[in-house]
Amino acid sequence: MKICRFNDDRLGLVEGEDVVDVTTALEVIPTTGWPAPQGDALIANLDAVCAKAWELAESGERLALYDVVLKSPVANPTKVIGAPVNYYAHLDESQEDEGVNFGREIKTIDHYGLFLKNPTLVGAGDGVDLHFTDRRNDHEVEVSMIIGKTAKNVSYENALDYVGAYSIGLDMTVRGTEERSLRKAIDSYSVLGPWLVTADEIADPDKLNFSIHVGDEERQNSNTDKLIFDCKKLIEYGSSFYTLYPGDVIMTGTPEGVGPVKAGDTMHCYCEGIGKMDVAVRAA
Ligand code: MN
């Protein structure tokens, strides 16, 4: 099932080129007092919401996808987790490009571990507001996992049981010498979309083609079968450091082809089994 958040926090069921408004399915989410449980309430109750959405599919108002503004399908993650240098071909280009490495030796995820991005996600329809336009601002397209239930010290074998959904991530990055967690946490630099696809629709997340074009130019095109830490390993490793909560997002890393964007560009992202999303780039 493909579920989107659109316009003013409406919930949609995506069917082909249409969105069916199933916002009333959100009524199955239990109300909580303060403090709310850690994590995103939609994702924590995703099975029940999807069951209700399915009931509403016939009667809900039907809209054209191109007429709605797509927001991030996860509203309140506790963490957006990044996977640095998780493809060897991206290691190679980073070692050769001074605009990426700034004179530093670049290693792989085995050396760096993980990092945290700003958890205030934006959606495809929000677009990216460029900051620090005197510096290089790069796209990094990344297949992204949305954690479905609380996970701590999860084994490699059981790791995918904890994935609730998949989506496409953009780990937007201003290049420079500061910590990754700063350069990749600028407002609007964590994009998730265009919707979520429930985990049952993705047979193997480590065999997905994905790509990004900027305008007509193909920049990145790879497959998750080339990940250094595959999807299961990222969950096993991450959950050994911190508890993963429903709605936490793991951006699995970017392949070769990272490059700059400028105001006025449109990024066209694609992932097999998920779909396409177009993301506008603007001056902040
Ligand atoms: Mn990245």
What is the Å distance from ligand 1's center to 198 Cα?
Answer: 23
- Give the pLDDT of residue 128: 98
What is the Å distance from ligand 1's center to 62 Cα?
Answer: 36
What is the Å distance from ligand 1's center to 154 Cα?
Answer: 23
CB 172 within 8 A of CB 138: yes
What tokens were used for 42? 């939609």
Of 18, 36, 70, the domain-final residue: 70
| 75 assigned to some structural domain | no
What is the Å distance from ligand 1's center to 15 Cα?
Answer: 30
- Give the pLDDT of residue 192: 98
What is the Å distance from ligand 1's center to 250 Cα?
Answer: 10
Domain that holds residue 218: 80-283
What is the Å distance from ligand 1's center to 266 Cα?
Answer: 19
What is the Å distance from ligand 1's center to 265 Cα?
Answer: 20
What is the Å distance from ligand 1's center to 225 Cα?
Answer: 16
Residues 52 and 178 in one domain: no
What is the Å distance from ligand 1's center to 115 Cα?
Answer: 10
What is the Å distance from ligand 1's center to 55 Cα?
Answer: 38
Strand 275-283 and strand 266-271: the pairing is antiparallel
**Overall domain count for the chain:** 2
Residues 106 and 162 in one domain: yes
Of 132, 134, 136, 130, nearest to 98 by C-alpha is 136
- Give the pLDDT of residue 256: 97
What is the Å distance from ligand 1's center to 138 Cα?
Answer: 10
Residues 190 and 108 in one domain: yes
What is the Å distance from ligand 1's center to 108 Cα?
Answer: 12
Residues 31 and 152 in one domain: no
What is the Å distance from ligand 1's center to 19 Cα?
Answer: 30
What is the Å distance from ligand 1's center to 22 Cα?
Answer: 33
Residues 191 and 250 in one domain: yes
Residues 16 and 48 in one domain: yes
What is the Å distance from ligand 1's center to 57 Cα?
Answer: 36
What is the Å distance from ligand 1's center to 25 Cα?
Answer: 34
SS3 sequence, the chain? CEEEEECCCEEEEEECCEEEECHHHHHHCCCCCCCCCCCCHHHHCHHHHHHHHHHHCCCCCEEEHHHCCEECCCCCCCCEEECCCCEHHHHHHHHHCHHHHCCCCCCCHHHHCCEEECCCCECCCCCEEECCCCCCEEECEEEEEEECCCECCCCCCCHHHHEEEEEEEEECEECCCCCHHHHCCCCCCEEEEEEEEEHHHCCCCCCCEEEEEECCEEEEEEEHHHECCCHHHHHHHHHHHCCECCCCEEECCCCCCCEECCCCCEEEEEECCCEEEEEEEEEC
| 217 assigned to some structural domain | yes
What is the Å distance from ligand 1's center to 50 Cα?
Answer: 30
Of 17, 45, 70, the domain-final residue: 70
pTM, two decimals, is 0.98
Strand 62-64 and strand 128-130: the pairing is unpaired
Residues 138 and 274 in one domain: yes
CA atoms within 13 A on the CB side of 178: 10
What is the Å distance from ligand 1's center to 213 Cα?
Answer: 16
What is the Å distance from ligand 1's center to 207 Cα?
Answer: 18
Residues 60 and 114 in one domain: no
Q: Render each residue's pLDDT in the chain as its tens digit; 284 residues.
A: 999 999 999 999 999 999 999 999 999 999 999 999 999 999 999 999 999 999 999 999 999 999 999 999 999 999 999 999 999 999 999 999 999 999 999 999 999 999 999 999 999 999 999 999 999 999 999 999 999 999 999 999 999 999 999 999 999 999 999 999 999 999 999 999 999 999 999 999 999 999 999 999 999 999 999 999 999 999 999 999 999 999 999 999 999 999 999 999 999 999 999 999 999 999 98
The residue type of 98 is: E
| 51 assigned to some structural domain | yes
Of 70, 99, 121, the domain-final residue: 70
- Give the pLDDT of residue 284: 83
